Amino acid sequence: MCGIVGYVGPDSNQRALDVIVEGLSRLEYRGYDSAGVALVADGEIAWRKKAGKLANLRSDIEAHPMPPSTTGIGHTRWATHGGPTDQNAHPHLGGEDDKVALIHNGIVENFHVLKTELLAEGVTFRSETDTEVAAQLLARAYGETGDLTEAMRVVCNRLEGAFTLLAVHADLPGTVVAARRNSPLVIGLGDGENFLGSDVAAFIGHTKSAMEVDQDQIVTITKDSVDVVGFDGTPAEGKRFEVTWDAAQAEKGGHSSFMVKEILEQPAAINDTLLGRTNEAGELVLDEMRIDPARLAAIDEIVIVACGTAFYSGLTAKYAIEHWTRIPCAVELAHEFRYCDPVVDERTLVVSISQSGETMDTLMAVKHARELGALTISICNTHGATIPRESDAALYTHAGPEIAVASTKAFTAQIAACYVLGLYLAQLRGGSQAEAAQQVMRELHEVPAKVDTLLGSMDRVREIARFMADTRSVLFLGRHVGYPIALEGALKLKEIAYIHAEGFAAGELKHGPIALIEPGQPVFIVVPSPSTPHNLHDKVVSNIQEIRARGARTLVIAEEGDESVVPFADEVIRVPATSPLLAPLLTIVPLQVFAAELAAAKGLDVDQPRNLAKSVTVE
């Protein structure tokens, strides 16, 4: 949940503070309860830390300048143990002489036992965090070993839980030591300087050359070396990769928020996710997955595991996957999956969906599925993240960096990736759906242009949102693929506009939720295309009439040319026509725009909503 930066640069260029604060500004989306930095300077640790957003830390540093330095660490926090106060902010210092500074992402689960032990030995603590225990243990281990890497190894072998740790020692200018277990860490390789970060955004302004760090490994960086060892002391090699996006993509680029920018980037995100998935004959090719096609063809069940918006993308894709493959597809919340004694085996394909690739609940679900013998595929937007690396194969979405906490372009890219996977499975299984797969792929390629057109017609949606800034409750209805879109529309509004919002399957209305309808209650209805089988469209139109008769204010999302909704709609929001299974890539757009505009109209921070963090790396 937290953002972590480490840096070592050349003696000629004592700019550690600037590099670290810049990195933190790019990682702030990961957590923004407090922020802090520690520098090694003149045989001491210089540190500043402040509750609140990074701006508070910047002001503090301006008021109390820090010394020039080549070496340092920085942290932006999402509080777990101990509230978001100055004291609980990272870094935490260790040792009687405060010569060790340490930052942490994750949770040290056995911190209580360790703290009791340290307290008994006379150590005093200045915070309520689990992290300070690791700082004190590290100072002690350094005292015994005289080697920061070895000391980190000793400490890691005592910690339980999930952690990325970064540490510096006052006597070691030019060295940062890091460790990871079940929490993200990546190395940035510069020319005469090296970096550490929770993700590549930490150093993208300086280098695109990066290296993955495996589970249970310790990394020691200097300005011109990177050494990796396992927690057992075995030397290891990191895997290099090039970052495929640049710093400009992680900037707002003149937009009012990252969320607004990312909504507008959806045509490119979907398009790039579809690119290169077919050969000249129009057949789907997913060579990058490196899974034996025979094994894939033999699966008899699909289980999608994910959380939040990624879960809704899975729920959306389920309809298409089952239709195209005729394989049963269950969609499970990742945090429930492990605990429901799931029935999966080697013929089950478990597909995890995660933008960050670091969501702890999803990671644990994948690990559990592998233990049970399932084949695992990760749909992920972040190269080198933990979940794809812990899976049998990865299918990357190419949405580019998603910075706003509220997921938008990752959502549509995830749906597109699920469609590609579903069509590929259909092709492997042969039969009539295999032939249809090529036609669907052609249609999918037309969707980005339609999303683009749709984005150009959102003025009225923005107006409605501004008009509704004081609204206290909004309901969302949908059916078939419109149902998960209703759920996702409600989630967007909850998380960034702090408005009570609920999504329902329209058919469920009469089984209870219709009691919520009173005069003036705004209700968005995602209407299926009139071409949806089983007269579903007409059934939803009836649902609109039922709630309108009870006074609801109906905001209807309907396909171009669908005139049957007009008499029952207070507002009609048009989306371009497409085949019913692909429609979610369009119908979600007005709901994203609505939430972003309404949150902005309320004067809220659209990108960094309260209590949330982009990447949920604790269970």
Closest to ligand AGP by CB, 38 or 364: 364
> Does residue 274 sit in helix, strand or coil?
helix
Q: How far is the CB of 600 from ligand AGP (least distance, A)?
A: 16
Answer for which of 406, 540, 541, 585 binds ligand AGP (CB under 6 A) is: 406
Query: How many Cβ atoms are within 10 Å of 261's Cβ, its own excluded?
Result: 21
In this complex, which beta carbon is closest to ligand AGP, that of residue 70 or of residue 354?
354
- The label of the residue with tokens 């469920």 reads 508
CB of 139 to ligand AGP, least distance (A): 34
Q: Which is the catalytic residue, given 50, 223, 409, 614?
A: 614
Distance (Å, rounded) from C-alpha 472 to C-alpha 500?
6
Segment lying near ligand AGP (by CB under 6 A), choices 211-219, 289-297, 308-316, 431-439: 308-316
CB of 561 to ligand AGP, least distance (A): 31
Binding of ligand AGP by 405 (CB under 6 A): yes
Of 594, 610, 532, nearest to 259 (Cα)? Answer: 594
Q: Which of 2, 307, 380, 418 is catalytic?
A: 2
Residue 209 class from Cβ within 10 Å (0-12 exposed, 13-18 middle, 19+ buried)? middle
Contacts of 184 (CB under 8 A, 6+ apart): 105, 164, 198, 199, 356, 358, 385, 386, 615, 617
Applying CB under 6 A, the site for ligand AGP has a residue count of 15
Q: Name the one range near ligand AGP by CB under 6 A: 29-37, 125-133, 259-267, 401-409.
A: 401-409
Give whichever of 47 and 337 is closer to ligand AGP, judged by the CB atom. Answer: 337
**Longest C-alpha distance within the chain, in Å?**
79
Radius of gyration of the chain (CA): 25
Query: Is 2 a residue of the active site?
Result: yes
DSSP H/E element including 377: strand 375-380
Residue nearer to ligand AGP on the CB measure, 99 or 261: 261
Q: Enumerate residues 6+ apart whose C-beta is below 8 A from 149.
A: 177, 218, 220, 227, 229
Binder of ligand AGP out of 9, 31, 173, 308 (CB under 6 A): 308
Give the relative orientation of helices 266-274 and 409-429 as an angle to the nearest 10 degrees. 20
Kindly state the smallest distance separating residue 186's Cβ from ligand AGP, in Å.
Answer: 15
**Nearest distance from residue 496's CB to ligand AGP, in Å?**
8
Nearest-angstrom CA–CA distance, 96 and 617: 31
Site string for ligand AGP, 331-360 (x = CB under 6 A): -----------------------xxx--x-
Closer residue to ligand AGP (CB): 46 or 310: 310
CB of 364 to ligand AGP, least distance (A): 12
Candidate ranges 144-152, 193-201, 214-222, 402-410; the one touching ligand AGP (CB under 6 A) = 402-410
Q: Which tokens is 202 given? A: 């930490």
Residue nearest to ligand AGP (CB): 308
| One character per residue 487-506, x = contact with ligand AGP (rule: CB under 6 A) | --------x-----------
Q: Please, what is the minimum distance in Å from the beta carbon of residue 36 to ligand AGP?
A: 24
| Span of 27-35, 182-190, 307-315, 316-324 interacting with ligand AGP by CB under 6 A | 307-315
Pair 499, 476: CB distance under 8 Å: no
- Residue 340 catalytic? no
Q: Which stretch binds ligand AGP (CB under 6 A): 197-205, 399-407, 443-451, 499-507?
A: 399-407
Residue ranges in 458-583 assigned as alpha helix (H): 459-467, 482-497, 536-548
CB half-sphere exposure, 305, CA atoms < 13 A: 33
Distance from C-alpha of 531 to C-alpha of 13, rounded to nearest angstrom: 65
Distance CA 371, CA 368 (A): 5
Q: Return the residue of 69, 127, 266, 309 that touches ligand AGP, per CB under 6 A.
A: 309
CB 241 → ligand AGP: shortest distance, Å? 19
Q: Report helix, strand or coil for 403.
A: coil
Q: Which is nearer to ligand AGP, 199 or 392 (CB)?
A: 199
Tell me which stretch binds ligand AGP (CB under 6 A): 274-282, 306-314, 393-401, 435-443. 306-314
280 membership: H or E segment, kind and range: none
The single residue among 76, 407, 471, 617 that binds ligand AGP, judged by CB under 6 A, is 407
Residue 395: name the closest of 422, 426, 372 by CA: 422
- Answer for which of 307, 317, 321, 486 binds ligand AGP (CB under 6 A) is 307
Could you tell me the CA-to-CA distances from 544 to 318, 457, 471, 473, 566 in Å, in that order?
Answer: 25, 24, 20, 18, 11
Contact positions vs ligand AGP (CB under 6 A): 307-310, 354-356, 359, 362, 405-407, 495, 615-616
Give the catalytic positions in this structure: 2, 614
